[in-house]
Chain A
Amino acid sequence: MVSPYALEVRGLTKRFGSFVAVNGVSFQVRPGEIVGFIGPNGAGKTTTMRMCATLEMPDEGDVLIEGRSALEDPRAARRRIGFMPDSYGVYPSTTIREYLDFFARAYGLRGETRGRTVGEVIEFTKLDGLEEKLVSVLSKGMKQRLCLAKTLLHDPSVLILDEPAAGLDPRGRVELRELVKALGQLGKAVLVSSHILTELAEMCTSVVIIERGELRATGSVDEVTRRSRKRAAVFVRFLSADAPQIERALLECPGVTSVRPERGGFLFDCSGSQEELAVILQRLVDSDLRPVEFAAREANLEELFLSLTEGKVQ
């Protein structure tokens, strides 16, 4: 039976002595899906990604690439995986073309196919015109693109990108985001980790949130938000400037547990039911505080991450 998943992680566990770096992590990535892999520093993201890329051996669990165990046949898995490590390496005394040509040969590409493929990845990563430049003189962003080009040489179906946007300037990040999006559109399964959650929010279709080696949440951003949201955040702004009175009034409303000032208004927590919101709005309108804005706020990836994790490292 053909697996619907390009990458399937099943109960991965990795211990370093008595320290459990990753504990029974499971998730799946479908073809064409871009999954953001999020977690605080030391959460086990890189270890999980390295296990997915067959660079690290799990103590328990398995990684399936297109339904086949990467542990049973790591070589076959490696042919389907494109891995871009966080500290990617380059050979400084080679040119861009030589670097890509070497890896194309290493991936078994021969003759004209090799030349054509190298040309294609150079064009895709917008490195054309720079082919004869020495790698040592490239900027961080260009090296990043070069490493991505190398990752794409053998046309992998699964891409594992560990912190690809780290250290890039805003333009570099935008370019990288566009490239990753384009890869998703080409049907590649992409697992990408980053600390820049706004970046991930713009390119990812799903997220996997991990903390202290354990899975906190997985699914599309909306799905995870729905599941994780026990309480709604509502933004409200008043014409009145009497902050203590506003806070008191809000806290007196049914279901409101906390109030904090934010961007000229106030953000308060409530259960989020329509009934409750209607009651609160009615109360505020009836008061002399004169509300001018009242909106239930959509949780963004950053808030979601903060609400699901405790910020503790192992």
Chain B
Amino acid sequence: MTTTSALERTTWDGRLDRWSDRLNPIVVKEVRQALRGKFFQWTFWATISLASLVIVIQLLSAGAGGIVDGRKLFGVLFGCLVVAVHGLVPLWAYFSMSSEWEEGTYDLLVLSNLRPWRIVTGKLFAAGVQAMLYYTAFLPFLAFAFAAGGIDALSVAFVFSASLVFSLLSSVIALDASTLARQRLWRMILLVGLFAILSVGCWASGFAAYTILTEPALFVSSEFWLAVGAMLTIGLTLGAFAACLATARISHPEENVSTPSRVVALLAVLGLIGWLAFARTKTSTDTPVVACILSATGFPCLFLLSVVWTTEADTLSRRVAAQVPTRVPALLVAPFLPGGGRGVLFSFLLHLLLACGVYGSVSGLPPASVGWLPGPDGATGFAFALAAYSAIYLFIPGAIVSRAQYAGPRARLVARLVILGVLAFGMAVPTLILGLSGSDFEHSFRHPFTPVEGARIFLEQSVEPAQRATYVGGLALFVIVGLFANAPRIVRAVTEVREAAGRRRAQRLASGNTTEPPLHAAPQP
């Protein structure tokens, strides 16, 4: 009996061991540490105690009739849960990453075979496991509230799913924030900022959950699902960028940390275009309005990302040069590889893609039914104007400061600040001059250096076509000047990729190996 059970246990242990081999080691370590840590233990039991107290108070206040308002009780309990999964779990994720520096384990971690993205996703999944523990612990309380009536199962399922997604998003942002600073003082400052953001997030998500639970009619409205889709797209994009940035910050400087963010940006732009196409099938008359909103959010985001891509060190690191694909033409590969010149090319293409996507999604639609709403032409002009402004403010100062980018991280930071400063200067100074010279508030923004004026030219119906054409010509001219100013960088950047690919091909031929060398060798047992 003993032998059999021991044998069974050994077999079981072996299976468990083999299964656990497939898990990210960080998840196992983090969950183990969290469960033993005081932070999780204290906060977990505090929230459970709070939920129990809420139930007791509700039961006591139910009175002689014994009727409990299920909806109200569920709302309050969910509020407690929201604090735990949208506040405490992301905070734990922040502490978990920053403790790697605090405990001096960071170096040991990055020296192991674990790739930076596995470290980030491991910590994120560990946060997810903790969130699931909270959901499981709250299940009996919520089931009690559900049994009291007043809530439908669809609303409950929706708020739970949305809450999990929001918890993961908050956690990945917290992880990203924790990689920003290595010094304790900066980490404390970041913690305060994060705490404020998470508090707002908890309040907003609690409010949204309450609205959804009390308004089941929302589920039949197509606008609600459009809004949910938009928020999910924005959330996933934001989460992916946060993960990319966190991964980049803990990667070896020679590693390629730029391509993932470029791929995510491309996917996000394609997602925006797809989203517009979907909006067109649902509500054709409002599509230009949606296109304008997406342009107004998409292009500034692209601008900020492009500031980073266009100010990267121009030369390929030895590691990246040794990984350049040899079977794809250099011109196709180059925009995705790190480097300022390649960043200029990629930014230009991405701006063009988004503007063309807007044009494609609104072309052929009837003019706006309401006079002041933008029609398809207005939305297209608006998108192209924003793209042009973004490109001009990126490429012209970018070309001037590009020489400084070779000198290291500080010079790159200065270059980034210069580009942002030129944008701020270009927008603010003429506005100030106009304001001081007696123009009213609205007219002080009417100068060609600000995208606000660009937007007005294309959206306002009273603008003469000739004035619009002059504006288009001027913007196009400056974009071309910006591109020409960066042309030598772009050519050098593409040539560098072609040469690196050529060197790899020659090496392969010399070694007699005709297959593509693996990018990453398998871990040694």
Whether A91 lies near B25 (C-beta < 8 A) is no
* A94 close to B (CB within 8 Å): yes
* B129 close to A (CB within 8 Å): no
The 7 closest A-B pairs by CB, nearest first: A108-B523, A89-B104, A89-B105, A105-B25, A106-B112, A93-B36, A89-B103
Q: Which of B29, B109, B520 has the most CB of A within 10 A?
A: B29
- Nearest opposing residue in chain A for B118, CB measure: A106
Residues B93-112 near A (CB distance < 8 A): 100, 103-112
- Nearest opposing residue in chain A for B108, CB measure: A89
Whether A113 lies near B104 (C-beta < 8 A) is no
* A286 close to B (CB within 8 Å): no
* A275 close to B (CB within 8 Å): no
Given the known interface contacts A54-B252, A78-B111, A94-B32, the answer about A111 and B104 at a Cβ–Cβ threshold of 8 Å is: no
Whether B525 lies near A110 (C-beta < 8 A) is yes
* B322 close to A (CB within 8 Å): yes
- Nearest opposing residue in chain B for A86, CB measure: B104
Whether A103 lies near B525 (C-beta < 8 A) is no
B17-39 interface code vs A (CB 8 A; 1 in, 0 out): 11001000110110011001100
What is the CA–CA distance of A150 and B111 in the complex, to the nearest angstrom?
A: 11
* A279 close to B (CB within 8 Å): no
- Name the one of B26, B108, B317, B521 contacting A75, with C-beta atoms under 8 angstroms: B521
Q: How many A-B residue pairs have CB under 8 A?
A: 105
Residues B353-399 near A (CB distance < 8 A): none
Given the known interface contacts A57-B253, A74-B255, A111-B18, the answer about A102 and B29 at a Cβ–Cβ threshold of 8 Å is: yes
Residues A75-90 near B (CB distance < 8 A): 75-76, 78-79, 81, 83, 85, 87-90
What is the CA–CA distance of A117 and B145 in the complex, to the nearest angstrom?
A: 52
* A72 close to B (CB within 8 Å): yes
Question: How many Å from the CB of A155 to the closest CB on chain B?
Answer: 8
Q: Which of B18, B109, B523 has the most CB of A within 10 A?
A: B523
Whether A91 lies near B107 (C-beta < 8 A) is no
Write out the residue numbers on chain A whose beta carbons fall within 8 Å of the beta carbon of B468. Answer: none
* A92 close to B (CB within 8 Å): yes
Residues A92-139 near B (CB distance < 8 A): 92-94, 98, 102-103, 105-111, 113-115
- Name the one of B105, B111, B317 contacting A91, with C-beta atoms under 8 angstroms: B105
* A26 close to B (CB within 8 Å): no
Whether A91 lies near B523 (C-beta < 8 A) is no
Whether A107 lies near B112 (C-beta < 8 A) is yes
Whether A108 lies near B36 (C-beta < 8 A) is no
Residues of A within 8 A of B (CB-CB), count = 40
Given the known interface contacts A55-B111, A105-B21, A111-B18, the answer about A92 and B103 at a Cβ–Cβ threshold of 8 Å is: yes
- Nearest opposing residue in chain B for A110, CB measure: B21
Whether A105 lies near B28 (C-beta < 8 A) is yes
* B226 close to A (CB within 8 Å): no
Write out the residue numbers on chain B whose beta carbons fall within 8 Å of the beta carbon of A212. Answer: none
Whether B114 lies near A106 (C-beta < 8 A) is yes
Residues B383-430 near A (CB distance < 8 A): 410
Write out the residue numbers on chain A whose beta carbons fall within 8 Å of the beta carbon of B114. Answer: 106
* B9 close to A (CB within 8 Å): no
- Nearest opposing residue in chain B for A15, CB measure: B408
Whether B109 lies near A106 (C-beta < 8 A) is yes
* A53 close to B (CB within 8 Å): yes
* A69 close to B (CB within 8 Å): yes
Write out the residue numbers on chain A whose beta carbons fall within 8 Å of the beta carbon of B28. Answer: 102, 105
What is the CA–CA distance of A107 and B522 in the complex, to the nearest angstrom?
A: 11
- Nearest opposing residue in chain A for B104, CB measure: A89
Q: Which residues from chain B sit less than 8 Å from chain A, CB to CB?
A: 17-18, 21, 25-26, 28-29, 32-33, 36-37, 100, 103-115, 252-255, 317-319, 322, 410, 520-521, 523-525
- Nearest opposing residue in chain A for B17, CB measure: A111
- Name the one of A71, A72, A74, A76 contacting B521, with C-beta atoms under 8 angstroms: A76
Given the known interface contacts A79-B523, A108-B524, A109-B525, the answer about A57 and B254 at a Cβ–Cβ threshold of 8 Å is: yes
Given the known interface contacts A57-B253, A90-B103, A94-B32, the answer about A79 and B524 at a Cβ–Cβ threshold of 8 Å is: yes
Q: Which residues from chain A sit less than 8 Å from chain B, CB to CB?
A: 17, 53-55, 57, 69, 71-76, 78-79, 81, 83, 85, 87-94, 98, 102-103, 105-111, 113-115, 150, 154
Whether A83 lies near B107 (C-beta < 8 A) is yes
Q: Secondary structure of the A side of the interface?
A: loop
Whether B105 lies near A73 (C-beta < 8 A) is no
Given the known interface contacts A88-B104, A93-B33, A105-B28, the answer about A72 and B21 at a Cβ–Cβ threshold of 8 Å is: no
Question: How many Å from the CB of B254 to the closest CB on chain A?
Answer: 6
Write out the residue numbers on chain A whose beta carbons fall within 8 Å of the beta carbon of B17. Answer: 111, 115
Question: How many Å from the CB of A67 to the closest CB on chain B?
Answer: 15
- Name the one of B37, B112, B319 contacting A73, with C-beta atoms under 8 angstroms: B319
- Nearest opposing residue in chain B for A59, CB measure: B408
Q: Which of A81, A85, A106 has the most CB of B within 10 A?
A: A106
Whether A72 lies near B322 (C-beta < 8 A) is yes
- Nearest opposing residue in chain A for B101, CB measure: A89
- Nearest opposing residue in chain B for A154, CB measure: B524
Write out the residue numbers on chain B whose beta carbons fall within 8 Å of the beta carbon of A88. Answer: 104, 108
Complex A-B: 14 CB contacts under 8 Å: A71-B317, A72-B254, A88-B104, A89-B103, A91-B103, A92-B103, A93-B32, A94-B29, A102-B25, A105-B25, A106-B112, A111-B21, A114-B21, A154-B112
Whether A108 lies near B103 (C-beta < 8 A) is no
Write out the residue numbers on chain B whose beta carbons fall within 8 Å of the beta carbon of A111. Answer: 17-18, 21
Whether B37 lies near A93 (C-beta < 8 A) is yes
Question: How many Å from the CB of A152 to the closest CB on chain B?
Answer: 13
Whether B523 lies near A81 (C-beta < 8 A) is no
- Nearest opposing residue in chain B for A76, CB measure: B521
What is the CA–CA distance of A239 and B296 in the complex, to the nearest angstrom?
A: 98
What is the CA–CA distance of A97 and B25 in the complex, to the nearest angstrom?
A: 14
What is the CA–CA distance of A94 and B32 in the complex, to the nearest angstrom?
A: 8
Write out the residue numbers on chain B whose beta carbons fall within 8 Å of the beta carbon of A72. Answer: 254, 318-319, 322
What is the CA–CA distance of A17 and B108 in the complex, to the nearest angstrom?
A: 26
- Nearest opposing residue in chain A for B321, CB measure: A72
Whether A71 lies near B33 (C-beta < 8 A) is no
What is the CA–CA distance of A289 and B254 in the complex, to the nearest angstrom?
A: 69
Write out the residue numbers on chain A whose beta carbons fall within 8 Å of the beta carbon of B105. Answer: 89-91
Whether B113 lies near A74 (C-beta < 8 A) is no
Given the known interface contacts A110-B525, A111-B18, the answer about A83 and B29 at a Cβ–Cβ threshold of 8 Å is: no
What is the CA–CA distance of A103 and B112 in the complex, to the nearest angstrom?
A: 7
Whether B104 lies near A85 (C-beta < 8 A) is yes
Write out the residue numbers on chain A whose beta carbons fall within 8 Å of the beta carbon of B253. Answer: 57
Question: How many Å from the CB of A213 to the closest CB on chain B?
Answer: 18
- Name the one of A69, A89, A105, A115 contacting B107, with C-beta atoms under 8 angstroms: A89
Question: How many Å from the CB of B145 to the closest CB on chain A?
Answer: 35
Write out the residue numbers on chain A whose beta carbons fall within 8 Å of the beta carbon of B520. Answer: 75
In addition to A150-B108, A154-B112, 4 A-B residue pairs with Cβ atoms within 8 Å of each other are: A74-B252, A75-B521, A93-B32, A115-B17
Question: How many Å from the CB of B119 to the closest CB on chain A?
Answer: 9
Write out the residue numbers on chain B whose beta carbons fall within 8 Å of the beta carbon of A105. Answer: 21, 25, 28
Question: How many Å from the CB of A239 to the closest CB on chain B?
Answer: 58
Given the known interface contacts A83-B107, A103-B108, A106-B112, the answer about A74 and B36 at a Cβ–Cβ threshold of 8 Å is: no
Write out the residue numbers on chain B whose beta carbons fall within 8 Å of the beta carbon of A57. Answer: 252-254
What is the CA–CA distance of A108 and B17 in the complex, to the nearest angstrom?
A: 14
Given the known interface contacts A55-B111, A105-B21, the answer about A89 and B29 at a Cβ–Cβ threshold of 8 Å is: no
Write out the residue numbers on chain A whose beta carbons fall within 8 Å of the beta carbon of B33. Answer: 91, 93-94
Whether A85 lies near B319 (C-beta < 8 A) is no
Whether A53 lies near B111 (C-beta < 8 A) is yes
What is the CA–CA distance of A154 and B114 in the complex, to the nearest angstrom?
A: 13
Given the known interface contacts A57-B253, A85-B104, A90-B105, the answer about A69 and B110 at a Cβ–Cβ threshold of 8 Å is: no
